[in-house]
């Protein structure tokens, strides 16, 4: 188990991408056409955005990605470029353009007769509006020589001028059944022993993130037979324990205590609403609710997650709106707890 399984089992074709039928169908149409518009791939982490970008680039470039394909994280876009100082030693100075790496790549001609280059920039929603505006201008100037694939978690944080120049492709959390099946396939290929229910437990704990699911499988398998206990022990982080305590308080009817814990998570530890809801989702099936109520809770969590995603790009107003949605979920948990106790 020397290699990282997330890379070892990364799909090489769109047929191997699970849980994203609509996204795969749309991307396949670009592969068949030979051309490529600017794309905006959006969705939660670990849902296949990077994998699909790599597959798409390899197919359209005919395998000639060396020199014709650039993969870069948005956090690296604004780093200063090295330059020689007057003493001949390497110095670092800020280039006038925050996108110098992209500009240099897009300016140069493609290699080996390929018609255009492809740049994949992940995490674009983390860029400031000024840098996004600079990116918009770069996309306009070099559109004849370079196609841009942009990846993000929250498309609402992308400025309209960038979004309007891209074809949007949405990725969703990978369904639990699909994740469980893939986990079982990888375990079989590696000779790992899965206790009954372990694959489904990993799928549930990962929250639809296939990268997280595969990493959990590899970590658990390195210690022997993969059991439900070993899976749950990996999710017992401080944040997970706090989220469980908050949920248990709400389920018992102590909503004020649950709100105090929520305050601690968001104010003291600085968690965002999306991070809180992610931890809540991972604990939802392990807080003792009857199956029918647990399923309803998962649906409610999904609705809350969607509403939080629409709360804006952060700041005091965004945090306040996130808090309203999370408090509503705590009230729902309190009602679910009362309903369960009456049975």
Each residue's pLDDT tens digit in the chain (343 positions)? Answer: 458 999 999 999 999 999 999 999 999 999 876 679 999 999 888 999 999 999 999 999 888 888 899 999 988 887 777 655 445 554 444 444 668 888 889 888 777 777 889 999 999 988 889 999 999 999 999 988 899 999 998 888 899 999 999 999 999 889 889 999 999 999 999 999 999 989 988 888 787 889 989 999 999 999 889 988 888 777 666 788 899 899 999 999 999 999 999 999 988 888 888 889 888 887 887 788 887 888 788 888 888 887 887 665 455 566 688 899 999 999 999 999 998 888 7
Are 184 and 266 found together in one domain? no
Residue 4 lies in a domain: no
Residue 12 lies in a domain: no
Are 227 and 245 found together in one domain? no
Domain end, chosen from 133, 150, 170, is at 170
pLDDT of residue 92: 46
Are 210 and 255 found together in one domain? no
Are 184 and 320 found together in one domain? no
Are 99 and 57 found together in one domain? yes
Among residues 292, 264, 290, 291, which one has the least CA distance to residue 279?
264
pTM for this model (two decimals)? 0.71
Count of structural domains, the chain: 3
Among residues 273, 286, 188, 172, which one has the least CA distance to residue 228?
286
Are 215 and 247 found together in one domain? no
Q: Measured between alpha carbons, how far is residue 269 from residues 168, 205, 275 in Å?
A: 34, 22, 11
Are 24 and 154 found together in one domain? yes
Domain end, chosen from 143, 170, 197, is at 170
Are 83 and 210 found together in one domain? no
Q: Which domain holds residue 135?
A: 20-170
Domain end, chosen from 170, 205, 225, is at 170
Are 107 and 82 found together in one domain? yes
Are 154 and 192 found together in one domain? no
Are 219 and 88 found together in one domain? no
What CATH number is attached to the domain comprising 215?
1.10.8.60
Are 149 and 76 found together in one domain? yes
pLDDT of residue 316: 59
pLDDT of residue 318: 64
Residue 3 lies in a domain: no
Give the pairing type, strands 90-93 and 81-84: antiparallel
């Amino acid at each position: 188990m020397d290699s990282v399984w997330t890379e070892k089992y990364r799909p090489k074709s769109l047929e191997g991408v699970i849980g994203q039928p609509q996204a795969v169908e749309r991307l396949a149409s670009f592969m068949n056409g030979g051309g490529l518009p600017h794309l905006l791939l959006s969705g939660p982490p670990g849902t296949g955005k990077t994998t699909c970008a790599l597959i798409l680039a390899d197919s359209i470039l005919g395998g000639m990605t060396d020199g014709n394909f650039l993969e870069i994280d948005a956090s690296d876009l604004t780093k200063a470029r090295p330059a020689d100082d007057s003493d001949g030693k390497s110095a670092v100075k800020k280039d006038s353009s925050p996108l110098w790496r992209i500009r240099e790549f897009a300016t140069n001609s493609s290699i080996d007769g390929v018609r255009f280059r492809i740049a994949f920039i992940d995490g674009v929603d983390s860029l400031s509006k000024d840098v996004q505006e600079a990116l918009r201008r770069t996309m306009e100037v070099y559109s004849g020589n370079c196609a841009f694939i942009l990846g993000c978690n929250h498309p609402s944080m992308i400025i309209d001028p960038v979004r309007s120049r891209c074809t949007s492709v949405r990725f969703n959390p990978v369904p639990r059944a699909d994740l469980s099946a893939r986990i079982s396939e990888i375990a079989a290929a590696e000779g790992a022993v899965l206790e009954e229910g372990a694959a489904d437990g990993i799928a549930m704990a990962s929250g639809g993130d296939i990268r997280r699911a595969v990493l959990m499988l590899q970590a658990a398998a390195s210690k022997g037979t993969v059991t439900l206990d070993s899976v749950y022990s990996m999710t017992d982080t401080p944040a997970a324990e706090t989220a469980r305590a908050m949920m248990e308080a709400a389920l018992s009817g102590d909503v004020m205590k649950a709100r105090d814990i929520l305050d601690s998570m968001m104010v003291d530890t600085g968690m965002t609403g999306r991070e809180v809801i992610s931890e809540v989702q991972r604990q939802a099936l392990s807080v003792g609710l009857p199956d029918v109520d647990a399923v309803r809770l998962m649906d409610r969590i999904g609705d809350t997650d969607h509403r939080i995603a629409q709360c804006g790009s952060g700041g005091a107003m965004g945090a306040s709106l996130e808090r309203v949605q999370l408090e509503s979920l705590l009230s729902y948990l309190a009602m679910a707890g009362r309903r369960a106790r009456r049975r």
